[in-house]
Amino acid sequence: MKNKKNTNSNSITKATRRWGFLFMGPVLIAFTIGFIWPFIQGIWLSMCQFRLISDAKFIGFANYVKVFQDASFRHAFWYTAMFAIVSLVIINVLAFMVAYFLTLEIKGSNLFRTVFFMPNLIGGIVLGYIWSMIFDGILGRYQTSILLESKYGFWGLIILMCWQQVGYMMIIYIAGLQNVPGDILEAARIDGATSLQTLFKVTIPNVMSSFTICIFLSLTNGFKLFDQNLALTGGQPFVIQPGGATIKTTEMLALNIYNTFYSSNTTSQGVAQAKAVIFFILVAGLGLLQLGYTRKKEVQQ
């Protein structure tokens, strides 16, 4: 009996080895066209001056020098970092809380899950415009607007992102929570652990893998945020310094790259491309660091 099963699975493995490429092929091709090739081209373009991609002129690292001299990019970086950290903490705390309560046997918890998840199905641009009206409906009563104070812009974006992302992370946490083995929980109860102790000493260590994913997602989402930023404030308010130079106080990295790319300066496309490469290294590096760190905290059963 045991033997038979083994040979069976062996032949499957063999067939998989032989024919696997057929099934991998389309994905590999799509991945090359959609990711690998543009990625290589992007790195190449970051060292070029170009208006159209088809006639780019190689200029070395001059674009990168310009990026590091660009004050708006530095401002956007710090603003984005702050936003990413704050949104990461709030989103995950809220998402875990919601997931925790919805896995307790509450009446209608399926309905709640659906409702919490729904905001995710709306596109970022739409959300941005809708929320800008909501915020201004409220702030209008106090004779102000989300476009007038950068702190409103910051917290507005946090609220928007929480509203959109909490439901999403919640689903992942629920999947994790439902997977905590009942016998461990029972053992903890028999040993007399309080519910708080159970939560922190048993449940949370067992859903660490969900935390890894959720923190990774919310961190990279925070850094990559674009649509919502564009639609909600578009970088406003600007601080207009004497002399006319401006700082777009709520402009995040992705929007900064976009604005650079579409400025009328004939050299700015290359600079924007260089910014995009730096941006990629940054997000990828941070993501990997965080993955490595939280992985260590996961428990294996």
Interface residues with other proteins (CB under 8 A) are 51-54, 120-126, 132-133, 136, 140, 143-148, 168, 171-172, 175-176, 178-179, 209-210, 213, 217, 227, 230, 234-238, 240-246, 259, 262-266, 300-301
Count other C-beta atoms under 10 Å from residue 243's C-beta.
6
Which CB sits closer to other proteins, 33 or 53? Answer: 53
Closest C-alpha to 212, from 299, 284, 94, 291: 291
Which CB sits closer to other proteins, 240 or 281? Answer: 240
Which CB sits closer to other proteins, 3 or 54? Answer: 54
Instruction: Tell how strand 238-240 and strand 246-248 pair up.
Output: antiparallel
* Cβ neighbours of residue 238 closer than 8 Å, sequence gap 6 or more: 246, 247, 248, 249
Nearest distance in Å: CB 13, other proteins = 18
Which CB sits closer to other proteins, 7 or 54? Answer: 54
Question: What tokens does 290 get?
Answer: 């965080």
Nearest distance in Å: CB 196, other proteins = 24
> What DSSP string runs through 7-25?
HHHHHHHHHHHHHHHHHHH
Question: What tokens does 146 get?
Answer: 């989300």
Maximal CA-CA distance, the chain: 85
Nearest distance in Å: CB 126, other proteins = 6
The per-residue b/e assignment along 195-232, b for 16 or more CB within 10 angstroms, e otherwise, is eeebeeebbbebbebbbbbbbbbbbbbbbebeebbbbb
Which CB sits closer to other proteins, 64 or 70? Answer: 70
Query: Among positive and negative, which fits the CA dihedral 276, 62, 267, 32?
Result: negative
Nearest distance in Å: CB 192, other proteins = 26
Which CB sits closer to other proteins, 109 or 220? Answer: 220
Nearest distance in Å: CB 198, other proteins = 18
Which CB sits closer to other proteins, 14 or 57? Answer: 57
Which CB sits closer to other proteins, 14 or 249? Answer: 249
Nearest distance in Å: CB 194, other proteins = 25
CA 214 to each of CA 93, 94, 209: distance values in angstroms, whole numbers, following the listed order = 11, 12, 9
Nearest distance in Å: CB 143, other proteins = 5
